[in-house]
Amino acid sequence: MSNIRFISFEGIDGSGKTTHVKSFCNYLINRGIDVISSREPGGTPLGEDVRSFALKQYADKSKKTELFLFEACRAELFKQVIAPALQQGKMVVVDRFCDSTLAYQGYGNGNNLDTVKFVDDFATDGLKPDLTFYLDIDPQKALERRAGRAVVDNIEERGLEYQMRVRQGYLNILRDNPNRVVLIDANQSIDAVDKSIISEFLQRYKD
- Interface residues toward ligand Z5A, by CB under 6 A: 11, 13-19, 40-41, 55, 70, 95-96, 100-101, 104-105, 145-146, 153, 155-156, 186, 188-190, 193
Q: Would you say 89 or 159 has its CB closer to ligand Z5A?
A: 159
Q: How far is the CB of 160 from ligand Z5A (least distance, A)?
A: 13
The burial of 128, by beta-carbon neighbours within 10 Å (0-12 exposed, 13-18 middle, 19 or more buried), is given as middle
The burial of 46, by beta-carbon neighbours within 10 Å (0-12 exposed, 13-18 middle, 19 or more buried), is given as middle
Q: Would you say 90 or 145 has its CB closer to ligand Z5A?
A: 145
SS3 readout for 45-100: HHHHHHHHHHHCCCCCCCHHHHHHHHHHHHHHHHHHHHHHHHHCCCEEEEECCHHH
Q: How far is the CB of 186 from ligand Z5A (least distance, A)?
A: 6
Q: Would you say 22 or 89 has its CB closer to ligand Z5A?
A: 22
User: Residues with Cβ < 8 Å from 196, sequence gap 6 or more?
Assistant: 184, 185, 188
Q: Would you say 85 or 193 has its CB closer to ligand Z5A?
A: 193
Q: How far is the CB of 190 from ligand Z5A (least distance, A)?
A: 4
Q: How far is the CB of 173 from ligand Z5A (least distance, A)?
A: 12
Q: How far is the CB of 179 from ligand Z5A (least distance, A)?
A: 22
Q: Which of these, 22, 12, 112, lies nearest to 67 by C-alpha position?
A: 112
Q: Would you say 70 or 205 has its CB closer to ligand Z5A?
A: 70
Rounding to the nearest 10 degrees, give the CA dihedral for residues 11, 12, 16, 20: 20
